[in-house]
Amino acid sequence: ALLAGFTRGLRARSRVLYEGVVGAGAMLAAGLALSVAAALVWIIVVLARGSLPSGFGLRDAAAALLYLLAFAPNVAVSLLALSLGAPVEVGGRVTVGGRDFGGLLEYSLVEWAGGAPPWYLFGLLSIPLVACAGAGLLAYRNARDPDAVLEVIGVGALVFAAAVLVLASVGDARLGAGLLGGRGVARAAPDAVTAAILACGWGAALGFAGWKAGQFLDRKSRP
């Protein structure tokens, strides 16, 4: 109700601001949804490969499901930041007994814990590609002024970056061992500032491209 009231008030004050905020919301919602889908694909692959520890039973599966649901927002934010190109810091790995066996490592699409990232991780780039371009196309379809691309997409990119900054700042996950084995991760935190800067760039460039694609499709459909 509060969100609906805010959007109605914003729409009454400024149509451009309203359309930009709605576009940013579409970018964020699509990005997080696709990140959750990517996490589920990863889990399915792990299960299909039979990478579970010996003795993994029904109770372990139920606990893993609850554990995953509890940290789903954190995982989605980390994957979204990773897909934007921002690094995610992982460190303080511990066993179930509490023994520390590792330091801080940084994972990104440029460097994966000191080495080259696996090739299939570049598929994560499709998350901001689809989310931002799709939001740009949606913004064009809902725009009152089809020529206000710079204003609407500019606002959308800035609001999207601000949302990513806030979520990445508070979304670091402190995980324990036992989800899919005897070793866990004590902390996984995306670089919030880098993620926000990249989100602004992705949102501006691909939102603009999606808007222009909408204009092109409209012109092509006219007799």
DSSP-derived secondary structure for the chain: -HHHHHHHHHHHH-HHHHHHHHHHHHHHHHHHHHHHHHHHHHHHHHHHTT-PPTT--HHHHHHHHHHHHHHHHHHHHHHHHHHHT--EEEE--EETT--B----EEE-SS-BTTBPPPGGGGGGGHHHHHHHHHHHHHHHHH-SSTT-HHHHHHHHHHHHHHHHHHHHHH--B---S-SSSSEE-SEEEE-HHHHHHHHHHHHHHHHHHHHHHHHHHHHHH--
Provide the pLDDT for residue 44. Answer: 76
Give residue-wise pLDDT tens across range 168-202. Answer: 998 776 665 444 444 555 667 899 999 999 999 99
Provide the pLDDT for residue 177. Answer: 46
Provide the pLDDT for residue 182. Answer: 47
- In the structure, what pLDDT confidence band is assigned to residue 51 with cuts at 50, 70 and 90? low
